[in-house]
Amino acid sequence: MALSDLIWIFFIGMALQPMLRQRILILMRARKIMQLQRVRGSQVITLVHRQETMRLLGFPLVRYIDIDDAEDVIRVIRDTDPDMPIDIILHTPGGLAIATLQIAAALRRHTGTVTAFVPHLAMSGGTLIALAADKIAMAPDAMLGPIDPQVGGFPAASILRVLRDKPIAEIDDQTVILADIGEKATRQLREAALQLLVRHMSPEKAADLADQLSKGQWTHDYPITVDEAVRLGLPVSTDLPDEVTELMQLYPQPVRTTPSVEYVPPVPRRAEPPGR
């Protein structure tokens, strides 16, 4: 075999390596999902958004909940026996309101028990989907977040505050339009949250919590921890199966030239000899 043939084989192997590695990861995730389904006797659905990298150019792509996700999740819910429990694993920064509301509505209509697993974070739309579940199981350090709408890249609540604090003559037309959209979006998301929360608490408490989550009491990236979620009255526990944590390890972030976190596992301490 000529040297040129070896060089071509080398480059072909390097080109195919990412695809082979991705295929192996997909198979490993499928095996772990089937293992979790056997343990819990449920239909497992994952909604996981990692930053992904294009295979050739290496540009990071930020992913979020979109219409394609809604179609896929709703298809699985429809194909699941009505009485079978559904476990949905959420790891997402949020996404499109219409897609999120579709997923939440489909989960709410499912007659079997729905459990939302949050191993790391389910912010914004991810929180709204979690509210549609009968139970929310979070890792001790995981977090949920507010569901206040963002309009034109700004929090709707902050745009509405401009209208309250400044004379209308001093506000440009675009801000007035964004405020009108923001008011409608806030009202719509509040009503959606209220319908989901009223199953877990009294109507009065559900209305108060829907206001807190949707009307900009916190910044949009405010972390709602397990303790705070429990204090707010959400059906939260820390009963997160080990299989969920293991599954998340099969969703690697893009490889960096220099890792951000490095560590060496500690060496076990040797037992002291008797008499010392």
What is residue 23's predicted lDDT score, i.e. its pLDDT?
78
pTM over 0.85: no
| Per-residue pLDDT tens digits for 211-225 | 999 999 999 999 999
Cβ neighbours of residue 221 closer than 8 Å, sequence gap 6 or more: 123, 145
For the residues 134-138, what does the mean pLDDT come to? 97
What is residue 223's predicted lDDT score, i.e. its pLDDT?
96
43: enclosing H helix or E strand: strand 43-48
What does the block give as tokens for 196? 């989901």
Q: How far is CA 40 from CA 16, 33, 86, in A?
A: 37, 11, 10
190: enclosing H helix or E strand: helix 173-197
Q: Domains plus CATH for the chain?
A: 16-145+223-255 (3.90.226), 148-219 (no CATH)
Q: Is 90 exceeded by the pLDDT of residue 261?
A: no
- Rounded to 5 degrees, what angle do the CA atoms 15, 16, 20 make? 145
| Per-residue pLDDT tens digits for 12-62 | 666 666 666 777 888 889 999 999 999 999 999 999 997 554 444 444 455
What is residue 165's predicted lDDT score, i.e. its pLDDT?
93
